[in-house]
Amino acid sequence: MSYLDRIRACSRRDLSKYRPFQVDGVHIGFVRNDMAEAIRPYANVFTVTDRAVALDASLTTFDQRTAAVDTVLRRLSNTEIMSPWRNEPYAVTAAFGAPPLFAMERAAIPLFGIRAYGVHLNGYTGQGDRLAMWIGRRSRSKPTYPGLLDNTVAGGLPYGMTARKCLTNECEEEAGIPGDWAAKARAVGAITYCAEMKEGLRPDVLFCYDLALPPDFTPVCRDGELESFTLMPIQDVAAIVRDTEEFKFNCNLVIIDFLVRHGLIGPDDPDYVAIVQGLHQ
Amino acid sequence: MSYLDRIRACSRRDLSKYRPFQVDGVHIGFVRNDMAEAIRPYANVFTVTDRAVALDASLTTFDQRTAAVDTVLRRLSNTEIMSPWRNEPYAVTAAFGAPPLFAMERAAIPLFGIRAYGVHLNGYTGQGDRLAMWIGRRSRSKPTYPGLLDNTVAGGLPYGMTARKCLTNECEEEAGIPGDWAAKARAVGAITYCAEMKEGLRPDVLFCYDLALPPDFTPVCRDGELESFTLMPIQDVAAIVRDTEEFKFNCNLVIIDFLVRHGLIGPDDPDYVAIVQGLHQ
């Protein structure tokens, strides 16, 4: 088992199961074949062929597209194809920083292989060899990845919210970290991957943050997303990431990035270049 | 002018000017067409066709390959095609961490488009908004990139040396940073790029290190590589990188990576994802 195994788990995909998805002539995702067939009847919203899917050209504004797609997705939300409705609209854009083309319910995003963005926080105490990291365990009742280990704080970026605001909210709700502390969290980079998971294709970007927490603080989950927190020596965290699959798939990469930036994985590791490149696919 | 301009300057290349270079059936570089023609007469060492270059199959050991290539390169070293001989052998490998296939004089590495490795140090004082970075200016008499701004310490990784040992040596020689301080420099990642420069193709990896220096310390160049050092507020360093071409091309990327890791470029920048991905091509 190695760090590269965790990175490879975020690189595996079979694009033959997907069809390119275009909006206004611009490629913005990959629709899974079963989803393409499920939306084929809605010909006033989606133009589906055996080789591609396009949003109907008659839908030209943000509001038109959002409403039309929402109508279709709500019809499919009680079928087996979609995971439970989250009621969290995500922005659909041609590229980061570009104006949103429309908003789409989070549960459908991987079925259309649309890039999603998340914020993930490494909350730690101490420094050097004495670094310890607060690790969360996901609630057993969560619809996605129940019971797996997670970063101190993590959340998907909803439509219309800045990454910083999203981080501040999640810090408060998920770990009881007050806003003035969250404001001191340092943006330290982003990891990118394209993973095929049960829910679909995830060509995601995770914005990573580091926050040194006071030694006498214990995170408290307020929104039920996590069932517990444990402060673990960084060496133990590293071993769990390297040797097990106990973490949710993408949280491994956030921690590997932390280990790289803090010098706990270095150029003496023959996998170093592959690891650093693998965090930015 | 933007950070992305600096990254694009490290992404520009015209591969039609190069031919694939193989050793033992493995692709390890791109030989520039003029160099391919210059080595064509040495048919017992290189097999040159109009479409590719291969090291002759009769050369099977590290020592044989190193000696045979060296003989050819020494004949060409006084011609216009090669920059001045550096007398610094670099390892030629199929991948980072793989056993070296042979060693090659540094001046020829870009003419064969072989991946080279370097160590670059960000030496800084203070923190947060009060961060300041020691910036070197390259000697006007250096054969490569004379007079341009440079990182606090930087050097190419010679054959047979670890990155950490190389960093320690360069800290001492290039900036007068004692070994016990250099040992505290933190490995923080690597940047990768593939840039076509005057000297050839550079598909390089730079190992990056951060070192907090005492406020009363001033670097002193001992080996003549740099003519001066200046402690600059990080905001000034960022503006020079963003708005000018005063830095040597690849040093810009090391500083952009520093700005990303220290939260001085964040997800509020619409170029953020392109910047972070551009540092790891």
CA distance B273 to A103: 20
Tell whether the model's pLDDT for residue B93 goes beyond 90. yes
Identify the pLDDT of residue A147.
97
Find, in chain A, the residue whose alpha carbon is nearest to that of B97: A270
Quote the Cα angle for A131-A137-A141, to 5°.
Answer: 170
Instruction: Give, in degrees to the nearest 5, the angle at Cα B66 between B63 and B69.
Output: 145
Question: Are B6 and B279 a contacting pair, CB within 8 Å?
Answer: no
Do A189 and B276 lie within an 8 Å CB cutoff? yes
Distance CA A38, CA B230 (A): 63
Taking the CA of residue B12 as centre, how many other CA atoms within 13 Å lie in the half-sphere pointing to its CB? 10
pLDDT at A224: 87
B233 close to B239: Cβ distance less than 8 angstroms: no
| The pLDDT of residue B187 is above 90 | yes
Q: Sign of dihedral through CA atoms A171, A177, A178, A183?
A: negative
Which of A207, A262, A267 lies closest to B163 in CB terms? A267
| B182 CA: distance to closest CA in chain A (Å) | 13
Q: Which CATH number fits domain A15-112: 1.10.10.10, 3.30.750.160, 3.40.640.10, 2.40.70.10?
A: 3.30.750.160
3-class secondary-structure state, position B187? strand
What does each of the 281 residues of chain A score in pLDDT, given as a tens digit? 899 999 999 999 999 999 999 999 999 999 999 999 999 999 999 999 999 999 999 999 999 999 999 999 999 998 899 988 999 999 999 999 999 999 999 999 999 999 999 999 999 999 988 999 999 999 999 888 999 999 999 999 999 999 999 999 999 999 999 999 999 999 999 999 999 999 999 999 999 999 999 999 999 998 888 999 999 999 999 999 999 999 999 999 999 999 999 999 999 999 999 999 999 98
Q: Is A162 left (phi over 0), alpha (psi -120 to 50) or beta?
A: beta
Assigned CATH topology for domain B3-11+116-278: Nucleoside Triphosphate Pyrophosphohydrolase (3.90.79)
A272 and B190 within 8 Å at the Cβ level: the answer is: yes
Residue B247 DSSP one-character state:
B
Determine whether the interchain pair B276/A192 forms a contact, defined as Cβ–Cβ distance below 8 Å.
yes
Contact B260 A97 (CB under 8 A): no
Task: Report the gap between the CA of B209 and the closest CA in chain A (Å).
Answer: 9
Residue B78 reports pLDDT greater than 90 = no
| Top-tier CATH class for A3-10+116-278 | alpha beta
**Furthest CA-CA distance within chain B:** 60
Query: Is the predicted pLDDT of residue B129 greater than 90, yes or no?
Result: no
pLDDT tier for residue B224 given thresholds of 50, 70 and 90: confident
Determine how β-strand A205-212 pairs with β-strand A117-125. parallel
pLDDT at B172 over 90: yes
Nearest chain A residue to B209 by CA: give it. Answer: A263
For residues A137 and A226, the answer to whether their CB atoms sit within 8 Å is yes
Structure tokens at B144: 């490569």
- Closest chain B residue to A265, measured at CA: B187
Interface test with A, best of B122, B208, B277 (most A CBs within 10 A): B277
C-alpha distance from residue A237 to each of A179, A246, A258, B98, B216 (Å): 26, 10, 11, 28, 37
Q: Which amino acid is at B217?
A: F
CA torsion A219-A225-A230-A234 (nearest 10°) is -100
Between the alpha carbon of residue B44 and those of residues B48, B126, B140, the distances in Å are: 11, 58, 40
**Residue B15 distance to chain A (closest CA, Å):** 22
Best interface-test mutation with B: which of A119, A208, A272 has the largest number of B CBs within 10 A? A272
Nearest CA-CA distance, residue A35 and chain B, Å: 28
Q: How confident is the model at residue B237 (pLDDT cuts 50, 70, 90)?
A: very high
Predicted local confidence at residue A129, as pLDDT: 85
* Domain boundaries defined on chain B: 3-11+116-278, 16-112
**Chain B, nearest residue to A280 by Cα:** B277
pLDDT (0 to 100) of residue A78? 81
Per-residue confidence (pLDDT) for residue A222, from 0 to 100: 87
Instruction: Name which of B162, B261, B270 is nearest A261 (Cβ-Cβ).
Output: B261
The answer to whether the Cβ–Cβ distance between B190 and A276 falls below 8 Å is: yes
Residue B171 pLDDT:
97
- The answer to whether A187 contacts B271, with C-beta atoms less than 8 Å apart, is no
- Looking up tokens 């042979």, which residue turns up? B102
Q: Please spell the DSSP secondary structure of chain A, one letter per residue.
A: --HHHHHHTTT---GGGEEEEEETTEEEEEEEHHHHHHHTT-TTTEEE-SS-EEE-TT--SHHHHHHHHHHHHHHHTTSTTSPPP---EEEE-SSTTSPPSEEEEGGGGGGGT---EEEEEEEEES-GGG-EEEEEEE-TT-SSSTT-EE-SEEEE--TT--HHHHHHHHHHHHH---HHHHTTPEEEEEEE--EEETTEEE--EEEEEEEEPPTT-----SSSSEEEEEEEEHHHHHHHHHH---B-HHHHHHHHHHHHHTTSS-TTSTTHHHHHHHTB-
Rounded to whole angstroms, the Cα distance separating A252 from A236 reads: 13
Between CA A123 and CA B141 the distance in angstroms is 48
- Which of B163, B274, B280 shows the shortest C-beta gap to A276? B280
Minimum distance, in Å, between the CA of residue A264 and any CA atom of chain B: 8
Mean pLDDT across B7-34: 97
At the second CATH level, the architecture of B16-112 is: 2-Layer Sandwich (3.30)
With beta carbons under 8 A apart, name residues in chain A contacting B193.
none
